[in-house]
Amino acid sequence: MAKAPRSKPLLADDKPLRTRVRKPRDPAQPHLPFDSMPDRVEPCLALLKSKPPIGPGWTYEIKWDGYRVALHIEPQRVRVITRGGHDWTHRFPGIVEAAKKLGVATAILDGEAVVLDEQGRPDFGRLQNSLGGRGGKLPAGDAMLYAFDLLYFDGHDIRSMELSSRRYLLETLLRWEEGAIRISEEIDGDGGEIFSAACAHGLEGIIAKDRASAYRSGRFGDWVKVKCIQSDSFMIVGYEYSLSARGGIGSLMLAARRGNDLVYVGSVGTGFKERDALQLRKMLDRLTRKTPPLTYQGSSKNIVWAQPTLIAEIEYRAWTHDGKLRHASYKGLREVQDNAAVFALDPKV
């Protein structure tokens, strides 16, 4: 076997190759990053569709049921910022401590803070309870962050990179993490089959993402969400009083938005435990009003109307022909600071 030819020297003579003399660094000069770290990034939002997109250009993940947050890791601090831009660092101490151990100087991770049930499925109600309910101040020590994107990494703003490259860096950072910060795994395969499997396992749905897409703040269709069971946020506008029901609440009266108006979309009488009902009754009785805050055609007997302030997350199967929720179930109260968007109906033609 022939030997490889010897490489030619860099210089014609035998003098050693030397670089020019470098001046010592001025200690007063700051260590500037390549890109300035944004104080906050508006999240990329998923577009709701009835079927997942299919093809080699798409990747799939579980749709986590929790609070969307951005984890900012900086040289002197760690911050947890909600989708609405509020600082919830104090409410997720476990995630903050795990972030300090990642071994990265600067980074912004996009993900979902969740609490899992005994079967390893995200449970929004448990997350709310761990935080002390809506407006609570308790820390969710057992919450964990499932990270699904990396926006800033070691001095570089990488939002313009394609998703597959950002995911590679994220996996490099979190490959061995099994604590309070974990990676949201990508699932390869047919989008339809993955969606069916997610529904069969009692999950909320899946997210499909364009592998070649940059990270764009807003809702552009680069990310698509497909839900097994519909789950949206609705305004509570009152409750139906009942002597036999827990906490005296027979059902909650719900409304969606249409432009600047509220529209009644039905009621929900299942899903809340006694503790939830007592808490809701106490909060709603502070918001009572004599007249309904919207147009209501039914009987107002036993209905206690309330100022439209509280936002509830509601699961439902479908809509009835007259625009009411079918088989609705209460999941919990949404935090205003989570930027919970009340469901918007199509505008009138």
Token duo for residue 186: 């990508």
Least confident stretch, 185-189, 208-212, 336-340:
336-340
Measured CA to CA, the distance from residue 241 to residue 281 in angstroms comes to: 10
The yes-or-no answer on residue 63 being catalytic is: yes
The rounded mean pLDDT for the chain is 86
Token duo for residue 63: 């749709």
In the predicted structure, residue 177 carries a pLDDT above the cut 80: no
Question: Do 65-183 and 230-338 agree at the fold level?
Answer: no
Give me the pLDDT at residue 1, please. 45
pLDDT, average across residues 325-343: 82
For the entire predicted model, the pTM comes to 0.72
Give me the pLDDT at residue 129, please. 77
In the predicted structure, residue 348 carries a pLDDT above the cut 80: no
Sorting pLDDT into bands at 50, 70 and 90, what band is 193?
A: very high
pLDDT, average across residues 50-77: 94
Measured CA to CA, the distance from residue 191 to residue 50 in angstroms comes to: 12
Of 178 and 8, the structure prediction assigns the larger pLDDT to 178
Give me the pLDDT at residue 234, please. 96
Token duo for residue 144: 């964990």
Of 256 and 34, the structure prediction assigns the larger pLDDT to 256
User: Of the residues 63, 209, 227, 331, which is catalytic?
Assistant: 63
Measured CA to CA, the distance from residue 94 to residue 143 in angstroms comes to: 7
Residue 320: φ, ψ to 5°:
-80, 170
CATH fold label, 65-183 = D-amino Acid Aminotransferase; Chain A, domain 1 (3.30.470)
Sorting pLDDT into bands at 50, 70 and 90, what band is 4?
A: very low
CATH fold label, 42-63+186-228 = Dna Ligase; domain 1 (3.30.1490)
Sorting pLDDT into bands at 50, 70 and 90, what band is 21?
A: very low
Closest CA to 83 of 332, 333, 314, 337: 337
CATH fold label, 230-338 = OB fold (Dihydrolipoamide Acetyltransferase, E2P) (2.40.50)
Residue with tokens 């309070």: 180
Of 118 and 47, the structure prediction assigns the larger pLDDT to 47
Closest CA to 152 of 61, 50, 73, 262: 73
What residue segments make up the domains of the chain, in order of their start?
42-63+186-228, 65-183, 230-338
